[in-house]
Amino acid sequence: MAVYRPEQAQLTYAAEAAFAADAELAEGKPMDSSGFTAALYLAHNAGSLELSIDGGTSGQAPTVGDFFQIGATTGTYSASVVPHEIRRVEWSDTTAANTYTIGLDRPTGFYHADNTVITEVQGINVGTDYGKSKMLVNLPGVYEAVDAPDMASGLEPQYFLSTTNRRSFQSVLKQQQVFDSSLTMTPLDGKPFRWAVGKVTTSAEDMSGSSYTTNTAAVKKGDIIIPVAAVETLASSIASSESTAGHYVTFVDIGTAAHNADAETAVAAMGTNPESRRVTYARANSNQAGAGYVWLDQPLQFDHANASRIYTHGVTTAVKTFRHVISETDVLDTMSWHIHMLDTAEAGKTAAANDIVTADSDFDRRYTGGKVGSMTISAEESGLVQVSWDTVNFRGMHHNNRRHNNLSESTGGPYKDASVLATMPFFALMQDIKMADVVYPDTEPYYFSDGQLKFFGETFAQIRSFSISINNNTEPRYYVQRSFGRFRGPNEIREQRREYTMTATVVLPDSADQFGAGGIVTATNLFRELLLEGDYGSLSTANTQVKGFTASLRFDRGVNDYIIIDIPQSQATTGRGKPLFANAGSPGTNHGNTVETDVGLFIRSAAHNLTADAPLQVELDTFFKNMVIYIKDNEPSYI
């Protein structure tokens, strides 16, 4: 007997290049000579749900339920240099002779150029050759339970006038499908913090102004295989034109980058969107140097123009320090989740000689288009930092359950004419994510080590515990559209007004401390902030000097290993400038310059109650406009 147990399950996740576009490279087993082939008509961006194809096999047409590989692979898989993925056909229209428009089961995860090869496949190849093709290998943190965002079906009974229903419903109406979840975790790195805030930019501390190469073509958000001018710069020990001894690398947006002596390596001297990655594989076009391709451990977050510089920081077996800055964006990125379960027999997948899966006792589910609508960051003094994704809305899900006993492959079901015998809706050919594939952090959790409330740089209260809530008020939107199989999930998930709040228990400082030249007692400054309501102007300048105060929270794990949350975002100049790593821990530099931008926290309530606690504690309830998160650690690939 074998059963599924939660102890034999894992949740991993990865970023998406576009809404609901789960990213993984996948090579399929082509059909025999009867299989359909074609090519893309014009280029298609990541996130494409419909493809225009031409040059189709004469006398054949795409069939609903068939699986297509988009992008060609070579006989030696490691020599494949274009993005390649597998999607299912949900509908097909003939637009001209051998020319079609097809609808997919989910959006494409990569950019595909004009004339990209389309090949019908009968299964997905598995095995160790495809280890570097798997992107859904990141653990969000330490979690005790997972609320799986399995489909909640909006089935509604319909009651009609009838003499035979006996007051029961006549039929059932299928309405919206909902895929929602939440997850509470102890983070082991700073990656979970960014999903409700915006983007993360990264670079190494040991930037060198001379050790770099360039990409030889523009690269897109989501790309994994990158064409470069000199592979030997980004990898070592190249033999027979290839190497698995990759380097840490940073992509920058400008022609020159600062040396490590510059304090602003992380952002200011690196262009708008620097990002770092590990090179997992490198292949020269010929010999052991020169032009070629590198494979990255995670997809790129940003577009980078042709000839952008790619700086190297040495081999990935060495320990390096990286700086990350999480800052606001209007549109949030989305993520994919993958839940993998073994049964107690651990039989797993059975594959034929050609690596095509013939039997599978694993239970795999994949959820795409996840957007963190609300998030909470909390901690108590000397306690572990906790992150909760309170609301995560997904577009849909896919799984590895092929068939149902009551759906005949030949006479019924939505995919009865397909070449692959798989009648279940939402079935997908996808990579398995095994334990050996998962990136398990070997770091400790973060401890809440320091929290301060400041006004113009002067500390007037210490934070004992806090809870920061970020609410994007996301709304799944359902529009009238052409049917994609049995999918009735949201067409998009839109952010509304963003709301930041912080509640905290604070301790008033020593009453002997004085604030400013006037000798004002610091211990009662929080009470004065409550009465002023953040407005430091005169009656004649009401609301023109609304500034609020600032807060800084620090979580330490070791030397050069910490997270700092600054409220509000430190500004280089008046207005919303780029956050500067040199200002980490000094929130609100130049804050309050204008009412519309650099304002800090505002108090809703701060009752100075008399309790058994000494010194005096205050339960503080605040709201604020923005925040920035600075992280220093040894992890390059923040997604």
pLDDT over threshold 80, residue 602: yes
Give mean pLDDT, residues 179-201.
Answer: 95
C-alpha span between 394 and 177 (Å, rounded): 10
Give mean pLDDT, residues 133-148.
Answer: 93
Q: Which residues pair with 186 in a beta bridge?
A: 142
Q: Specify the pairing of strand 171-185 against strand 152-158.
A: antiparallel
Give mean pLDDT, residues 421-437.
Answer: 89
Give mean pLDDT, residues 574-582.
Answer: 62
Cα–Cα distance list, 610 to 380, 511, 615, 618 (Å): 21, 17, 10, 9
pLDDT over threshold 60, residue 280: yes
**Residue 619, helix vs strand vs coil:** strand
* Model confidence, pTM: 0.92
**For the chain, percent of residues with pLDDT exceeding 90:** 46
pLDDT at 575: 44
Residue 318, judged by CB atoms within 10 A of its CB (0-12, 13-18, 19+), counts as: exposed
Task: Check if the beta carbon of residue 339 is closer than 8 Å to that of residue 108.
Answer: no
For 447-486+493-633, CATH gives 2.30.110
Q: What confidence category does residue 259 fall into, taking pLDDT thresholds of 50, 70 and 90?
A: very low
Going through 478-574 in order, the beta strands assigned E by DSSP cover 492-494, 499-507, 514-515, 520-521, 550-558, 561-567
**Residue 229, helix vs strand vs coil:** coil
From 127, 115, 126, 103, select the one nearest 38 (Cα to Cα): 115
HSE of 510 in the Cβ direction (CA atoms, 13 Å)? 3
Task: Check if the beta carbon of residue 451 is closer than 8 Å to that of residue 421.
Answer: no
Mean pLDDT for the chain overall: 85
For tokens 């492959």, the residue is: 409
Q: What's the full length of the chain, in residues?
A: 639
Amino acid at 214: T
Residue 318 CB contacts under 8 Å (≥ 6 apart), including other chains:
none
Q: What confidence category does residue 574 fall into, taking pLDDT thresholds of 50, 70 and 90?
A: very low
pLDDT at 515: 60
Structure confidence by residue, pLDDT tens digits, 22-71: 999 999 999 887 889 999 999 999 999 999 999 888 888 899 999 999 99
Residue 114 CB contacts under 8 Å (≥ 6 apart), including other chains:
40, 41, 42, 43
C-alpha span between 247 and 317 (Å, rounded): 8
Which stretch of DSSP H or E encloses residue 527?
Answer: helix 525-532
pLDDT over threshold 60, residue 266: no
Give mean pLDDT, residues 554-568.
Answer: 88
From 126, 127, 146, select the one nearest 430 (Cα to Cα): 126
Residue 448 CB contacts under 8 Å (≥ 6 apart), including other chains:
379, 380, 381, 382, 383, 384, 385, 465, 466, 553, 555
DSSP annotation string for 409-453: TTTSSTTTT-SS---STTB-------GGGSB---SPPPEEEEEEE
Q: Which CATH class is domain 25-133?
A: mainly beta
C-alpha span between 262 and 273 (Å, rounded): 17
pLDDT at 21: 97
Higher pLDDT, 57 or 621: 621
pLDDT over threshold 80, residue 409: no
